[in-house]
Structure 1
Amino acid sequence: MMGPRQEAQPALFYEFSLEDHVPQDHLLRSIDRFVDLSSIRSYLADFYSHTGRPSVDPELLIRMLLVGYCFGIRSERRLCEEVHLNLAYRWFCRLDLSDCVPDHSTFSKNRHGRFRESELLRHLFDTTVARCIEEGLVSGQRMAIDASLIEADANKQNSTPKEDWDAGQIDPANAPRAVREYLATLDEAAFGAASEVQPKFTSHSDPASQWTAARKGPAFFSYSDNYLIDTDHGVIVDVEATRSIRQAEVGSTKTMLKRVKAKFDLHPERLIADTAYGTAPMLGWLVDQKIAPHIPVFDKSGRSDGTWTRADFEWDAENDQYICPEGHELKQFRRNYSDPNRGPSGKGTARYRALKEVCQACPSKPKCCPNADARKITREEHEDARQVARDIAKTDQYVISMKLRKKVEMLFAHLKRILGLNRLRLRGPCGANDEFILAATAQNLRKLAKVLPAPQKPRTA
């Protein structure tokens, strides 16, 4: 038969435990085991006043931010509502049923103030990476690098074409925060100094963002999220925000490799990346650092007319010359110069030439230089490093590396589809950096929770 109508009967006293109402297999239970915020208060001590009204516990704010980024809650207003309603979120944030949730404006005040000044979010990320190393998820032998475009909080309707933009006319005293950050990064390699080429449009609200059409669709303003990962378990060991241009993305590789070496003493045996990172200076730097470049060479020396390319000529390093398929020599200099400034410098691009009379009498001239009197070949400064990369590309280990490189792309797919970071909410280089660091921290915590889940307690009757 039909049971009685269910009606809530208010009681005078309740016996309620949050611990009992959070499932044993909940993701936050596993994540909580790896969140160590015991040092936050001492880390921020110098950024708080000794007088005045007590502030909101910084550990509570960080735990709430971690909840937001781990579960793709992009709005801080909504985050406060979810923490207020969700028992598991309250348990993770150490809030009892009667405790009040901080107002959403508290996050902005702390983010733009003491969190950013103290680089607390970077400290939190480094602590998480250190825990991954401690748990054996990072060996540091094989690393991969890549970048992904994240749309900025900017609109083309509020922008200026490059011919009308003049940064010198901006008054920093009256400019918004994002504009002041843009002015402060004009000389940084990751932003203003990455390239002398001015973008087609510059946003008024976030001028540091890059106008780009790299996705082969409608152009938009964006930042690049750069990940350096360890390929053993796909742990992110460093993250950096840059302009969305190749020079800035490639330049961030050096920054991140130096940082992980200084902080965690990680020096990879090999670095895996796509062709965008296969430029001659980048390959030369990696070889100098004793890092094997498992990277396709960025090479435009090929020819489309069917004639011999530079790859068809043999390099004779001992005699500093090329040997053509017919056995003739192409030299850079054919006599010794008394003036050292006219001789080989060892820097920049060198040009090697065959003798005109040799090429004119050669039967293979139509295959070699049909439209020139003699064959010329240019050799870049870091051509030896490029050859190292070409030789590595012929090995079986390179094939494995190209498969491992997909782990970076999988992390970016997870970042956008699961964590919902398709578009930034914060503006300016600092805002983009804060969001990228928090998202990478959340991904590492989720990785720890997946690989090392919390032990399940048997249910009591």
Structure 2
Amino acid sequence: MENWRKDARREPVITDLDALVPRDHILRKIDKVMDYEWLYERLSPYYCHEHGRPGTDPVVLIKMVLIQHLFGIPSLRRTHQEIQVNLAYRWFLGYSLLDNIPHFATVSYAFCKRFPPELSEEIFEHILNKALNHRMVDPSVIFIDGTHIKASANKKKYQKQRVAETARIYAQQLREEVNAEREALGKAPIEEDDDDDPEGGGTREKTVSTTDPDCGMFVKGEHERQFAYEAHTACDRHGMILGVTVTAGNVHDSVAWDTVYDDVTRKFDVQFVTMDAGYKTPWIAKKVLEGGKIPILPYTRYKGKKDGYKPWDYEYDPVNDCYICPQGGTLRHTTTNKDGKRTYRSTPRACKDCPCKHLCGANEKGQKILTTHIWQEHLNLVEQLRKTELGKELYAQRKQTIERVFADAKENTPCVIHITEVWPESQAG
């Protein structure tokens, strides 16, 4: 039995680390295409080169974070432990078997205190540019969506706070168009009030984690309440991430959309923008269409009464700005409110004896009220685009593009949160 037993743990071997790392290892592929000279030049001003002991190689610290993200390691402390015993990790850092690995606190301090805050984004842009140069990116079609990532925060430790409301990006434009319509209808203009001005006293209550104040309380459907972040992401049809904005988990997709959309469309020649139902709002439809791009959005189920007339049963007359009901009655445009909702009303005298009042949902006075948005025509066009063969084909690609990106992101949670700084809560709207 003793002849079978062999212990080679202390057996000296003459070799080098390069020979022990498989030729097809992913870190070899990354090291082959990456260049780091620009990083040394970028970070040189943040180090003293004349006095004191030499600092840790900044590229090594960045590589350690890259290892953490690539392999889904949950913390820098654990990453430090894994690098000590993993030959491929040591090879990637350029360290021998006997070299001491930089402490995880050194890595954390560098990213929090020493490196410029925009460094992570610059690295992201550098890698993306390499993909573009190698024709790996097709930005003609982009997919935008958001996914929640659970925060490392105790959901029982929180406090209630009153915070100032912030006007939406399109608030000023909407107010101008609303007032133009109200003037044509002989209505008084809507002035900017406290609810639209974050300095004017408009507030709301929010739940703030005392463990991690940057995250937000997330509740969706029957899911339990939990603190989370949301990564609002845009990718191309090959799943290449083109832009990311991380917000608190209680920020709606449509609120953070402008930041991601503006960033991606500024850098790339985008033709089609594919999104899910959370982005099907008048403003998003209007902005995309007026920007010369084609929005692809899904069907949304009608939530009104099923046993009566539907909104599409009413015919719009653009010449007279009115709607004609299925029985031939006229609904006049009477007002437009500050939210951009147009109100059309029928004449009670003309409708009180109508035998179909129960189908149109007229009120006790016999008056039918129909509301649409001031930018409704953009939503109508989006609905037409949805029904095209190309629209159906592009929307179906979400499963192998943006949804696959999120599946990978949830496996490597630290990667998503670290890509960019958290969106300020004051921008949540």
Q: TM-score, with normalisation over the residues of structure 1?
A: 0.75
- Amino acid in structure 2 at the alignment position of 1:331: R
The partner residue of 1:198 within 201, 205, 222 is: 205
**1:440-455 correspondence to structure 2 within 5 Å:** none
Whole-angstrom CA distance in 1 between matches of 2:148 and 2:17: 40
Whole-angstrom CA distance in 1 between matches of 2:305 and 2:132: 49
CA drift at 1:9? 8.8
Cα RMSD (Å):
3.1
Counterpart for residue 453 of structure 1: none
3-state SS, counterpart of residue 323 of structure 2: strand
Counterpart for residue 382 of structure 1: 375
The partner residue of 2:359 within 367, 390, 400 is: 367
**1:16-415 correspondence to structure 2 within 5 Å:** 16-50=15-49, 51-115=51-115, 117-160=116-159, 162=160, 165=161, 197-199=204-206, 201-214=207-220, 216-231=222-237, 233-247=238-252, 249-262=253-266, 265-296=267-298, 302-304=303-305, 306-332=307-333, 348-372=340-364, 373-406=366-399, 407-415=401-409
CA drift at 1:103? 0.8
Residue 5 and residue 355 in structure 1: after superposition, are their counterparts in 2 closer, same or farther (change >3 A)?
closer
Whether the 8 Å CA contact 2:121–2:419 is kept in 1: the answer is no
3-state SS, counterpart of residue 331 of structure 1: strand
Residue 187 and residue 281 in structure 1: after superposition, are their counterparts in 2 closer, same or farther (change >3 A)?
closer
3-state SS, counterpart of residue 33 of structure 1: helix
CA drift at 1:293? 1.6
User: Structure 1 regions of 5+ residues with no counterpart?
Assistant: 168-184, 334-342, 425-431, 439-461
CA drift at 1:346? 11
User: Structure 2 regions of 5+ residues with no counterpart?
Assistant: 170-197, 422-429
The list of structure 1 runs, each at least 4 consecutive aligned residues, that deviate by more than 6 angstroms after superposition, is 9-12, 185-190, 297-300, 343-347
Whether the 8 Å CA contact 2:120–2:419 is kept in 1: the answer is no
Q: TM-score, with normalisation over the residues of structure 2?
A: 0.81
Residue 79 and residue 238 in structure 1: after superposition, are their counterparts in 2 closer, same or farther (change >3 A)?
same
Whole-angstrom CA distance in 2 between matches of 1:370 and 1:250: 33
Residue 215 and residue 358 in structure 1: after superposition, are their counterparts in 2 closer, same or farther (change >3 A)?
closer
CA drift at 1:363? 4.0
CA deviation profile, 1:375-431 (whole Å, cap 9, x unmatched): 2211212101111111112111222122112221222122223x3x2xx6xxxxxxx
Residue 436 and residue 198 in structure 1: after superposition, are their counterparts in 2 closer, same or farther (change >3 A)?
farther
The partner residue of 1:416 within 410, 417, 422 is: 410
Whole-angstrom CA distance in 1 between matches of 2:213 and 2:338: 40
CA drift at 1:215? 6.0
3-state SS, counterpart of residue 39 of structure 1: helix
CA deviation profile, 1:79-102 (whole Å, cap 9, x unmatched): 122212211111111222333210
Whether the 8 Å CA contact 2:299–2:386 is kept in 1: the answer is no
CA drift at 1:344? 7.8
- Amino acid in structure 2 at the alignment position of 1:252: A
Whole-angstrom CA distance in 1 between matches of 2:9 and 2:81: 25
CA drift at 1:331? 2.3
Whether the 8 Å CA contact 1:239–1:437 is kept in 2: the answer is yes
CA drift at 1:213? 2.1
Whether the 8 Å CA contact 1:277–1:298 is kept in 2: the answer is no
Percent identity for Structure 1 against Structure 2: 27
Residue 215 and residue 436 in structure 1: after superposition, are their counterparts in 2 closer, same or farther (change >3 A)?
farther
3-state SS, counterpart of residue 340 of structure 2: coil
Whether the 8 Å CA contact 2:137–2:240 is kept in 1: the answer is yes
CA drift at 1:276? 0.9
* Structure whose residues are more often strand by fraction: 2
Counterpart for residue 446 of structure 1: none
Equivalences, count? 387
Q: Relative contact order: is structure 1 or structure 2 higher (C-alpha 8 Å, sep ≥ 6)?
A: 1
Residue 21 and residue 206 in structure 1: after superposition, are their counterparts in 2 closer, same or farther (change >3 A)?
same
